[in-house]
Structures are given as structure tokens and as C-alpha cells.
Structure 1
Amino acid sequence: MTRQSLVKSNSPAFVDLATLAGMVADGDCFGVGGHHFARLPIALLRSIAALHKRNLAYTAWAGGLALEMLLEAGCVGSIDLCFSSLDIFGLPPRFRASAEAEAVPLRDWTALAMIEALRAAQRNMPSGAFQLPMGSSMMERVPGARTVADPLVGEPIGAIPPLALDTVVLHAPRADASGNVQIIGARALDIAMVGAAKKVLVTVEEIVPVGTLGAAGRQTVLTRNQISAIAVVPGGAWPASCLPFYATDYAALAAAFESEAPLAESLALPEAGVPAHPRRAVAIRAADLPQRFPAILPAPATPTIDEIMAVRLAAELDDESFASAGAVSPLANVAYRLAKATHAPRMMLATLSCGHLDIAPSPMLLSALENLDAETAAAHAGGDDTYSTYYQAGAVTHEIIGAAQVDRLGRVNNLALVKKSGGKLRLPGQGGMADVSNMHRDYAIYVTRHSPLSIVDEVAFASSGRGLLDAAERSAAGYRTGRAQIFTDLSVFRLDAETRELVVAEIMPGASRAAIGAATGFAPRFAADCREIDLPDADILDILRRQIDPLGLRRLEFVGARERGGLIASILAEDRRLVEHYAGGIA
């Protein structure tokens, strides 16, 4: 292995934004720090796009907004990622168009393969080793990945070459005058990416004197010898968040995604700086909020399917559960919080891809959710260390994950669907599903619209699956055995350990065997003890509606693309009203 020479210093350069952007070279293997809409270096990405950098090998856990900006500017020469999503706003249109047209080479990774490849580069090792994603076909997709025999015991394992990065860009709240950089809250893959990078370019909200970073309390510090250069750019992550300065500005993101103007123009920070709403939202604390909110949504005469599924998913959890909320799963996030607020107060709950550990079940206020979880969490972490500490160790019991398509063997396809025309419809990607589907004690997948297109006889590509199913094979791999189930708006399937096929175990209220059969792409079998699920009682519905999810974020997973925009607009309006009310005198 030939490792690139580092361009880092005990004395990082302090430069302006234009100079920092100019340090990115055409053709760089280019990583972006932050995650989802948290701490994205938006101002720096805009400057890089304005310089018309070319042929960047975009390499990161997630694509999302950062990748959309670079694709729009024609900066991207190739893409390596685990998934790409715009969170509540749906699939990223530029990424989808590029992937479907095969305009830019795209390589899909499992999260664990990317983590171990980055760590191999970080540690100056010739390769990284990882558990195989049994039940998926992802090993044929991950670049350079091989199945090899463990040198000590001969068992098959995954091996991956080091993933060295030329440049990583990230945004952080502060640096001190020596160049030590502070991160508050979840840190995604920032530690591994910084360690694997030749150059690390950072924008920060402010510079503080040496010795004062510790006053911030819980934090992660990237020491100055890991940093190449720093620019002070107040508001440099907006409209993404930067704790403790401002929350994600979802209204600004919605306007940018709806606008016909280029993203680089729509995402320009206003001359007055970060608007008041995200600054007020980030200051809300759990103690500022009521135990129950006044009713916001009209209470239906009977529970809606989103409520029924949330309550049924919550019933899977108990005091010994450790549930992780993955990307873009509001229904699962609601179910976890509902369980912890009711019958499972001792369960552990982690959010933002396991970046906030053991949080309190705060209400899902869109703008304030990240800082509420960061405040109440027992610890902050990154995806790289939580994979080895929790997932690979088999400590996580549940990560209830949404799927686009599931087949009779319980395998998931979240990569691409084939259209009637023969073309492809690109999906977000499997994220970490290929890994964690085997690592979690319980396998729990949900599909909010049960149809012959979503529940199929055989997926075209298995992006994830429960390859280790029965107790013997799971015990041999060091994992606990639990339930393996698929939840839909019509039924609950159980994955039978003997036949390894789905069996209908429960029927949703109002559904029928005939409806399930008509909506399934194969002839479903019904368990001998198949039963109809009971409707949720009034008390738990009140907690769901007025304590856990007063905005009804769970509904976003039950509407089509045409209805999503209107629903988001109504949610954002109520979110703003609640933040303004409960922020009180917060400036």
C-alpha cells in the first residue's frame, strides 16, 4: 500500500473562505463531513462549486444535499456512498437523474465496509476486515471488497483496501487560536474521514482563545495536527444545523428545493446572517416544553393506519431493548419514543445514526429535535465507533427500517426498481442495512404501502437481508436470536426460520385475507394462529398525538410525492408556531 503524504500541520493555516476552497484540487478524492442536515459545510461547498472544480471523486457515508450541490455545479467525476436522501423532502433529484442515466460512475458501499476502509487508511494498514453482509448481494457492489479466509481460524470474512481521501471538508462550531476544532453533538464518520485524509479543510462559526474549548462541556475535539486550514465563516452550515448556534432551517430548505434557481444561489446565507427561527429553535430545552401539547391535528373518529402501525411497532420494544433510529425513518422514530414514554422507560434509544446515545423521548418538534436529543443524550458518538461498540457486538436489538421492496424471503431492495418502460428508478441506497440486518437481535422492516410492487416474489437485487436467521447460525456468528418480521399497512409477516419464507402472522384492523392476497406479489401463507391486531386504546393514542408526535411527522411516510409538498408545508407552519411559542423569551 502506498499512502499519500499528509498535508497537515501542528499549526493549521487560518485563511479566508475563497482561499480554503482553492485548496481543493481537480480530481481529488473528496469527502464531506457532517450528516443529513447537521453541520454540512454549505458555504464552503458553494465556494468550491463557484470555482468550477472538476472530476471530484465524491466519497462519503451519505450524498444528500452536499452531493446535490456538487452535481448541479458539474464538479463530480464519480460517486462512492452508502445512501443519498434529502430526509423528509424525499429522493435527491440530481442524484437520481445521474444514477438512472449512468451519467457519473456510482459505487454503492455497505456502511461497515466504508468504515473499515477509512480506518485502514487512518491506521496505515494494507486492508480492513469486516463481517460479511450475509443475505445481501452487496459484496459484488462494494469496490475492492473480497471474501477471504480469516488467517487464524479460516472462517470467511470481508476484506477491503484502504480508502485514502485527498481532501475532507467539514463545518464545526469553533476552533481555538491554535487550530483545535470542536464538534458538538453527533459526529457521523468525521473522525475516520479526517484520519484517512491528506487535507482537512474546516469552516467554523468562531475562533476562541486557547484553553477555552473545554467550557462547552460535552464535545469532540479534532486536534490541530489533524487540520490543514481553517476559515471563520459564521453561518457556514446554514440552512443545515450547527449546534449550539442554530438548528436546521427546514423552511429555507423547502424553499430551495421548490425553487427553479440553482441550489448554490438558493442556499446563500442572507446578508443579515442566520434567520431568527433556527437560532431560537436550537435554544429550546426539554424543560421548556409541556408534558402534553394542546391538540394540533384533528382527532379522527378511529385510529389512522400511521397511528396503528406506530403503536404496533412500539409494542415490539421493552425495557431491555436498545433501539437505533436510522436515516429517514420518522415512523420508527415515533414508535421508539412512544415505547420509551409508556411501557419501556428503561429501554435505550439512539438517534441520528447512533450519534446521540440513550436519549429521553422528547417530542418530535422538527426544528428542535436535534438539539433536544443532543441535550438529553447520555453520550455523543460517531458512526464509526458505535458500529464496533454496539452493532458489531450485537448489542442493538432493533433498528426498524423502511423498505421500498421486500420479497418472500424477507430480502430488501432499496437500491433501484425497474420501471414498466424498462428503465431504472434509483432509490436512496441501503445505508447500513446490509450489515445491521444480521447484527440486530430482531429483524424488523416496514412497508407503508403494501402492494404487488412492494411485496414481491423475488427482488431484482438484494441490498439487504436476514442471512443469519436460525438460532444455531446466529449463535455461531456471535449474535442473539430474536423475531424476524415485516410490518405493512395490511399485515405483519413473520420470517419462518424453517422455510425461510414470509408467513402472515397478523392482520391490520380493517384489512382481510383477500386484500392481503391481492396486494402481495406471491400467494401468501397464513399462520395457523394468525390474528387481527387490536385497535390502540385512547390513552396511548393521546400520548402519541399530543406528547410524542404533535406535528404528525409519521404521516410523511404514508403519502405519495404529490401530497408530500403540501403536508410538509403544513408541518413547517405548525413547527414554526410551536417554536415561537415555547422559545418564549429566547433571543
Structure 2
Amino acid sequence: MRKPVFFEGSAPWCPSVEALLSDVGDGARVGVGGFHFTRIPVAQLLELRRAGRRELTYVAWGGGLALELLLDAGAVARAELTFSSLDVFGLAPRFRRAIERGELELEEWTALGMISALNARSRRLPFEPMQQLAGTDLGSGWSRPTGGDASGAAGASGAAGAAGAAGAVDLVPALQLDHVLLHASRADDAGNVELRGAGGLDRSLLFAADRLLVTVEERVAVGELGAPGAFVIPRTFVSGVALAPDGAYPTSSLPHYAADLRRLRALAADPDAPLDAAALAPHPRARAAAKVPPAAIRHGLSCLGVAGRQQSRTTPAETMVCALARTVAAGGVATVGSASPLPTVAYLLAKLLWAPDLLLMSFNGGLVDVGWRPMTLSLAEQLDFDSAAAHAGGDETYHWYYQQGRVTHEVVGTAQLDATGATNNISIRRPDGSQIRLPGQGGMADVANLHASFLLYLPRQSRRNTVQRVDVRSATRVLPGPMTVLTDLGRFDRDPADPGAPLVLTHLHPGVELAEVKERTGWPLRVADDLKTTPAPTAEELTALRERVDPLGVRRLDFVPAAERGALIDELLDREEELLAAATDGGPPT
């Protein structure tokens, strides 16, 4: 084990990003902080590209833009992660291509597995115990001792669950890291670093690393750190820090600038687009967007809702949103996962109409107890950053909420579902035996058996995504508790008397015929004796949904085919940019 390189008495400031990364050599195990489109250390990744580093092992919660940057330069030989996607923009093309061609060695972790492995490393232990995985093909190489406490422990909220209910544990081996690259808001002259906003797995990464290398937006005097919601990393753990304004662009670094989804959309639209410094040059719109007051954003979205009033027929998306929302009760705890427009709209509808005390965690658990807001594609982080009761890490909320069984709702999507409720977001076999690489399961393998219930959604049910048996098991609910699948046709539930049996169709949506469900289901359909019709959205629900909760119609993203998704995203970004321009000028949007 390498000896950690810690602060040794002088401020760890470096004159440049190049100097900061001078000791990161070929073959290093490099952890990357941030997640999705939040605080990715882009300036450091571009420097690794420029320096021609090779044979790196990439370690992070997610891949996405960060991994795409390194794969594009041929810098990575191995990756250890839980998923890799470009979020609402779809699959990460370089990751998919590298896996399908066998050019990238990959170790897939569950989110809790990676957190546990990092915790073990930070404590200098060989392993860390965690709730035993079940119903997944991941984690099979971990040690599984016998004789665990079978009593379990439900959360204080009374959620039954699954959290430790079986008592068995996995022993997750420590995950070694040579360097962690992190981008943060500010650092002081002594080298203390201030993190703000959703933390991803940063707090687990930084304490597990031999060396922590940080870029920041600002350098301030000692005593000036400690902004509301901030977490300060003591200088003891910082091996080097360099000033790099816009060092996370085109991802966000609030409160300095928002994620530039327009730039990210352009990069995602062209899988062969250049990913160099010139292509990622900062655009002023990202800083301008971060300076618009949240109240002005909310007002602008409400004006759009009033301007867009309509009395059109109820759409399948609206039926699904209202059906999902009705599963949310007052006093619940809901968390927003990755690329989940429809469930997010459902949570917001419930919070507005009948569950104002719903504790909502967004940005993968990093922004805790956010206030109600309208649905938006590119402005959500600013609104939640401003209203959150706590800025945390996904690792912390896993311990606080998931492992204690406190989460009542996290509706997740799946690419493939089988008759028993097993999911697959990892890979699908083509008829010729080759694989289509999917993003990965993220935290599904954990949460399927940590939540009080397991809810899945399929916006466009077909025989391709409902199959007799999945190719790879990402996650399955195997412990007692509800397991529900909501599609655009109806609702399926697990038979509590026979959990291993095929799912049962319990509800048909209004206007859907049973014959259509049979035609679009890839297994022999089981129908409940008391098959019900899903209650149609009420006038109150539809008005709130269309005018206040989702005036832009972001919910449509889950329903359009992949070929049409880009055009809809462009439409949404156009409207949001109009709104920001109007808010900046002081007038209402048109």
C-alpha cells in the first residue's frame, strides 16, 4: 500500500493545473469527483489529455462526460463505476463503443458497494460490511460470512423494509486510489477547500485517496470559508490545489455557473464531436444563468403555465404521472434518480397538492429536503441548490436514508423487465450473440431491497422491454414488500402470495384494451380476478400538472422515441433560454 501524501506544513497551492497534476503518471488509479453534469473536474481531465497520460484506471460513481473525455484521448485502460450515461441525452457513445469492442476493462459496482469500498480504504481496513446484495448478478465475488444477525432494523419512520431485514452482510474489499481529482467552489490561502451543492461520492473519495488534487473557482483569505450549506475539507487532506475559474464547465459549479446543457446537448448529438479545450471553451450563458434569482425563474415558469392553458385530451404521460403521484403519501421520503423526468413530475405534483411535507432529495441524494418548484430541464439545480435544507453527498444519504429503510419512493426506469420483476440496465444480447451495452444499474441493485417498496416505470411498454427472462439481472426485489411496475398501459404488481410467480396485471389505464396489453407483453399475461381501471386524472390534477408543475412539458421526454428526443430537448432549452432572457431583462416571458 502506498503511503498517503498529506499536507506537510506549507500551503499546498500550485501555480497551474499542469503543476497540480505533475505526479499523476501512466497507469495510475484516478478517482474523479463530481457526477453527471455537476462539478466534473474538466480542467484537470483536459490536462491529463494534453499530457498524454495512458493506461489509467478510472474510478467514479459514474462515467459520463468525464470518462468520455479520457476515452476520447485513449487515456483509460480500465474503469470501475456504477453506470455511464449522458443523463437526459442518452447513452455515452465512447463508453458503449469501448465496451462492445472489448477495448475497456470494466468492473461494475453498486453505489452502496462502492461507498463501502471507499469507506474501508479511508479507515485503512481490508473490507467494509454492508447489507447483502440479492436479486442481482453484481457483487458475486464479495465475501459473504454466515451467521449474521437476522433481526434487521427498520427505519424510525416505520418503513419495513428491506434495510438489513435479512441480517446477512457482504464484506466489500477496500478500493485503492492513487489520486482523486476534484473541482470545488473556493479554497483559502492555507489550502482548506469549500465544497457546495450536491456532493456525489466526493466525501468518500477524498478520504480514501493517497492524494487529493483540487481545482477551485476562487482563492480567498483564511477565515472567509463557510458559506451556507458548505462542507470544508481541512487542508490536512489536500495534497494540491490550483486556481481554475470555469474549471468544471460545461458542467456546473454553483453558485458560479450553471451546467450548460446547450453545449452538452451539442456534444451528445455528435458521438464523434471533438472533446478538447477548444470545443469546451466557456460560454457566458452558464454564468448568466446562475445569477438569475430563483424567484424570477419560478415566476417565469408560472407565466408559461398560464400562457399555455389548454383543454386537450389527457395524454398517457399525464395518466402515468397522476398514477405515480397517488402512490406518494404525506410524510414520505422520495429521492430523484438519474434521467427520471416522469417520476420527478409525479413527486412535485404530490408535494403541491396533498403531500406538502414530502421530503424530496434531488441530484442523487445530494440536495436534501428541497422546496416545491416547477419542473425544468436546465434550471432545476439552481432552484434546489437555493431551497435545500442540507447540501450532502449521495454517500451520506445512503447511510442516513437508504440503509435505514427511510426512503418510501424512488421510481426507477429499466431497459428490460422480465415476468418476475427482474430488471436489466446493463446489456442486451442481439440475435447474433453480440451485446448492446447499456448505461448500467447505478444504485438499483442496492435500492431494490433497501426501500420500503420497489417501483418501476416503463413509458412505452413493448415485447422488446418486457421479456420472459432478462439477459443480465441489474436488480430484483427479493425481500418482502410491495413491488410495482407502472407502464403506459396499466399497472403490474407482485403476487404477495407467490413472490416468485409472474407479475399480475392489476389495473388497466382508461381507454386501454386488455388485448393490447397481451400484444405488448413479452410473457404470458396474468390478470387479476378483480382487474381495475386506473382512475383518470382529476380536473384539479390536470390543471396543476399543466399550469404549475410542468408547464414546459418536460414529462414528454420519457415518451418520445430516441430519434425525436433531441428535437424535444432543443425545444425545451429554447423556452428556458427565453425565460432566462426575460428574467434578466425584468419582463415576463412570452
Match of 2:59 in 1: 59
Query: Which amino acid counterpart does residue 163 of structure 1 have in structure 2?
Result: L
Query: Which amino acid counterpart does residue 254 of structure 1 have in structure 2?
Result: R
Runs of 5+ consecutive residues of structure 2 not aligned to the other structure: 151-165
Whether the 8 Å CA contact 2:259–2:286 is kept in 1: the answer is no
Query: Deviation string for 1:26-77 (max 9, x for gaps)?
Result: 1111111011100111121111111111111111110000000000000001
Match of 1:472 in 2: none
Per the TM alignment, residue 17 of structure 1 is displaced from its structure 2 partner at its CA by: 1.5
Match of 1:567 in 2: 568
Counterpart CA distance in 2 for 1:282 and 1:366 is 17
Rate the CA distance shift 1:19–1:277 in 2: closer, same or farther, 3 A: closer
Whether the 8 Å CA contact 1:8–1:198 is kept in 2: the answer is no
Counterpart CA distance in 1 for 2:202 and 2:77 is 22
Counterpart CA distance in 2 for 1:223 and 1:434 is 34
Whether the 8 Å CA contact 2:148–2:168 is kept in 1: the answer is no
Rate the CA distance shift 1:63–1:297 in 2: closer, same or farther, 3 A: farther
Runs of 5+ consecutive residues of structure 1 not aligned to the other structure: 470-480
Per the TM alignment, residue 223 of structure 1 is displaced from its structure 2 partner at its CA by: 0.9
Per the TM alignment, residue 7 of structure 1 is displaced from its structure 2 partner at its CA by: 4.5
Q: Does 1:124 align with 2:136?
A: no
Counterpart CA distance in 1 for 2:171 and 2:100 is 29
Counterpart CA distance in 1 for 2:202 and 2:295 is 27
Rate the CA distance shift 1:183–1:368 in 2: closer, same or farther, 3 A: same
- State percent identity of aligned pairs: 41
Match of 2:529 in 1: 528
Match of 2:492 in 1: 493
Query: Which amino acid counterpart does residue 577 of structure 2 have in structure 1?
Result: R
What is the DSSP-based 3-state SS (H/G/I as helix, E as strand, rest coil) of the residue aligned with 2:448?
Answer: helix
Rate the CA distance shift 1:555–1:122 in 2: closer, same or farther, 3 A: same
Match of 2:106 in 1: 106
Rate the CA distance shift 1:24–1:524 in 2: closer, same or farther, 3 A: same
Q: Does 1:325 align with 2:343?
A: no
Match of 2:412 in 1: 401
Match of 2:511 in 1: 510
Match of 1:279 in 2: 288
The two structures have a TM-score, normalised by structure 2, of: 0.92
Match of 2:224 in 1: 212
Rate the CA distance shift 1:300–1:523 in 2: closer, same or farther, 3 A: farther
Match of 1:477 in 2: none
Equivalent residue runs for 1:377-416 within 5 Å: 377-416=388-427
Counterpart CA distance in 2 for 1:567 and 1:152 is 51
Counterpart CA distance in 2 for 1:562 and 1:434 is 29
The two structures have a TM-score, normalised by structure 1, of: 0.93
Match of 1:292 in 2: 302
Match of 1:176 in 2: 188
Match of 1:200 among 209, 212, 215: 212
Counterpart CA distance in 2 for 1:181 and 1:533 is 52
Rate the CA distance shift 1:31–1:495 in 2: closer, same or farther, 3 A: same
Match of 1:157 in 2: 169
What is the DSSP-based 3-state SS (H/G/I as helix, E as strand, rest coil) of the residue aligned with 1:138?
Answer: coil
Counterpart CA distance in 1 for 2:406 and 2:295 is 28
Whether the 8 Å CA contact 1:321–1:396 is kept in 2: the answer is yes
Whether the 8 Å CA contact 2:260–2:285 is kept in 1: the answer is no
Query: Deviation string for 1:260-309 (max 9, x for gaps)?
Result: 44112454324xxx413543345331465228333466846211111111
In terms of mean alpha carbon deviation, does 86-95 or 533-542 score higher? 533-542
Counterpart CA distance in 2 for 1:351 and 1:253 is 20
Rate the CA distance shift 1:360–1:263 in 2: closer, same or farther, 3 A: same
Q: Does 1:248 align with 2:259?
A: yes
Match of 2:360 among 345, 349, 361: 349
Taking only aligned residues, the RMSD between alpha carbons, in angstroms, comes to: 1.9
Counterpart CA distance in 2 for 1:85 and 1:361 is 27
Whether the 8 Å CA contact 1:164–1:196 is kept in 2: the answer is yes
Rate the CA distance shift 1:220–1:516 in 2: closer, same or farther, 3 A: same
Whether the 8 Å CA contact 1:32–1:168 is kept in 2: the answer is yes
Match of 1:371 among 379, 382, 393: 382
Counterpart CA distance in 2 for 1:50 and 1:299 is 53
Per the TM alignment, residue 133 of structure 1 is displaced from its structure 2 partner at its CA by: 1.8
In terms of mean alpha carbon deviation, does 275-284 or 532-541 score higher? 275-284
Query: Which amino acid counterpart does residue 402 of structure 2 have in structure 1?
Result: Y
What is the DSSP-based 3-state SS (H/G/I as helix, E as strand, rest coil) of the residue aligned with 1:390?
Answer: helix
Whether the 8 Å CA contact 2:365–2:397 is kept in 1: the answer is yes
Rate the CA distance shift 1:29–1:356 in 2: closer, same or farther, 3 A: same
Whether the 8 Å CA contact 2:297–2:580 is kept in 1: the answer is no
Counterpart CA distance in 2 for 1:330 and 1:9 is 47
Rate the CA distance shift 1:200–1:585 in 2: closer, same or farther, 3 A: farther
Whether the 8 Å CA contact 1:415–1:463 is kept in 2: the answer is yes
Whether the 8 Å CA contact 2:190–2:222 is kept in 1: the answer is yes
In terms of mean alpha carbon deviation, does 415-424 or 68-77 score higher? 415-424
Match of 1:234 among 217, 226, 245: 245
Whether the 8 Å CA contact 1:133–1:464 is kept in 2: the answer is no
Whether the 8 Å CA contact 1:174–1:181 is kept in 2: the answer is yes
Query: Which amino acid counterpart does residue 6 of structure 1 have in structure 2?
Result: V
Per the TM alignment, residue 584 of structure 1 is displaced from its structure 2 partner at its CA by: 4.1
Query: Deviation string for 1:228-264 (max 9, x for gaps)?
Result: 1111111111110001011111111112233544112
Equivalent residue runs for 1:548-559 within 5 Å: 548-559=549-560
What is the DSSP-based 3-state SS (H/G/I as helix, E as strand, rest coil) of the residue aligned with 2:136?
Answer: coil
Per the TM alignment, residue 174 of structure 1 is displaced from its structure 2 partner at its CA by: 0.6
Q: Does 1:6 align with 2:5?
A: yes
Match of 2:431 among 417, 420, 435: 420
Whether the 8 Å CA contact 1:509–1:532 is kept in 2: the answer is yes
